[in-house]
Amino acid sequence: MSPIPIVVISCVLWAAIASTICINAKANHTEFVSCMNNHIILFANDSRYLFTEDMPMYSSLVTSQHNPRCSNSTTSIKPVGIVTPQNEAEIQATIMCSQKHGLQVRVRSGGHDYEGLSYLCKTPFVVIDMRNLRSVSIDIEDETAWVQSGATLGELYYSIAQKSQTHGFPAGICPSVGVGGHFSGGGFGTMVRKYGLAADSVIDAYLVDAKGRLLDREEMGEDLFWAIRGGGGASFGVIVSWKIKLVRVPEKVTVFNVHKSMDDQNTTEIIHHWQYVMHKMKHELFIRVIIQYIHDNKNTSVEAVFNSLFLGELKDLITLMNKKFPELHLKPKDCIEMSWIESVLYFAGLEKTPELLLGNKTDPYVSYFKAKSDFVTKAIPKQVFVGIREKFLQQKLVFLIMDPYGGRMNEISESHIPFPHRRGNLYNMQYLVKWDVNDVQALHDHTHWLRGLYRYMEPYVSKHPRRAYLNYRDLDIGTNRQGNTSYVEARVWGEKYFSGNFKRLAQVKSKVDPDNFFRNEQSIPLHIKHSKEY
């Protein structure tokens, strides 16, 4: 009898494995749905919160993210179910049923996750989509607000402005970003130099932990409350809502966009000088630099945009700029006075209609993209920006965004919350490349180009380790292996995001989630020691 070819044996073996996976997936699906129905009020219609593959809304929910590159991932399976809870009890039931039937959980608030970790998984899993938990309650007298994790930054800003024209909140620029992920990763925007991060102004929270308990700040304890403000909430539980401290803003602020062609050598001189003066300017002034190339079959060039918010009047801004940054040659005609909420729309590229901040239909950032980040501690030489210009001409849609620090960021300890990038950082850099058609070749070409740019910048950015920002998630810097990654293995990427705070995050993780239920490719690992030692 002739031996059976190895290739045939392999095919049979893989067919058997695939069949087993399929059977297990169906069993997981059935058991999970049954469990949910037993936990939620029996006569409730589960179709209002639980969506499975045989239901019409399932496909749209699966693909409702802002980086379609991730939805085409070949390493992820489809979720057993997508839960859109309308209260804490439905979150608690989802966690308990997932644990009971061996499913992992992914939590999605806004869909802006750069690497798709909030909706992708290699083993059977359930997505908790927070879109129905988006209420915002403002207390102007107390200058606080409670905001649920499914709300967008735009909805938060809109709600504040409806109550007061002299209050705001120091969070991100893109209005369609979900509050849940943004706050738990740190979160910075145009008021970062005046008030610090969004997470710096969080004063309480409600979280459902791995045991299904709903905990506020007092009940979760200061260690866990510290961890979820910048350490990534998805490693520790499901954060339902946040209590934040509002900040004061003047009735009139001033904004400007000044465009400079990188073909002009003087532009490089201005950017170089920006590095030396911006972090020392008044806390009320924020000027970021966006180097961009948008190839549109016209005589386009790489340009630098100086994009600014000043928490004050035009006359005071002009006086300040003439004294501290005359190289930009800012003129009154370049500037516009407006309310703070109008400045939110201005930075988002939206018309002066605050209602546009409600929902995310106007989001301009939905596209295939890959991003990376750096922190700069020493001014970059002028010739480096010349090299960046040359590299940008190889692409069609690419951005380098430089957000200034200094100000309040210099005054807060690097261990105050897990986000450590404080004193000594001149600015944060985000590299972003976009493309139109997401086939295998396009993905390879664009990501390969971006990684080349990242290597080019290595000598000029932070070192030992080279730092990165959690909310600009980047799996290139290291990932956890499947299952339980050791603390030592995870340090490869963990200290790039968190520096010396990574050890404390792992200690908190060991204490509050010792079975490592909440995990993904870059979740906080358990510490070497057993959790009972803490």
Contact 357, 305 (CB under 8 A): no
Task: Say whether 328 sits in a helix, a strand or coil.
Answer: helix
Lookup: tokens for 155 = 């909805």
End-to-end CA distance of the chain: 64
Q: How far is CA 364 from CA 103, 180, 342, in A?
A: 34, 20, 17
Which H or E run contains 291? strand 285-294
HSE-CB at 415 with a 13 A cutoff on CA atoms is 7
- Verify whether residue 472 is a known catalytic residue: yes
Report d(CA 63, CA 75) in Å as an integer.
16
Beta-strand pair 125-129/104-108: parallel
Specify the residue for token string 């030992």.
464
CA angle 445, 71, 360 (to 5 degrees): 105
From the candidates 431, 472, 487, 497, give the one annotated as an active-site residue. Answer: 472
- Calpha distance 120→128 (Å, rounded): 12
Tell me how far apart the alpha carbons of residues 134 and 122 are, in angstroms, rounded to a whole number: 29
Say if residues 314 and 335 touch (Cβ distance below 8 Å).
Answer: yes
Contacts of 309 (CB under 8 A, 6+ apart): 190, 191, 253, 254, 255, 285, 286, 343, 347
β-partners of residue 292 are 303, 399
The C-alpha atoms of residue 463 and residue 460 are separated, in whole angstroms, by 9
Helix (H) or strand (E) holding 206: strand 202-208
Q: Which of 366, 374, 402, 368 is nearest to 174 (CA)?
A: 366
Catalytic annotation, residues: 472
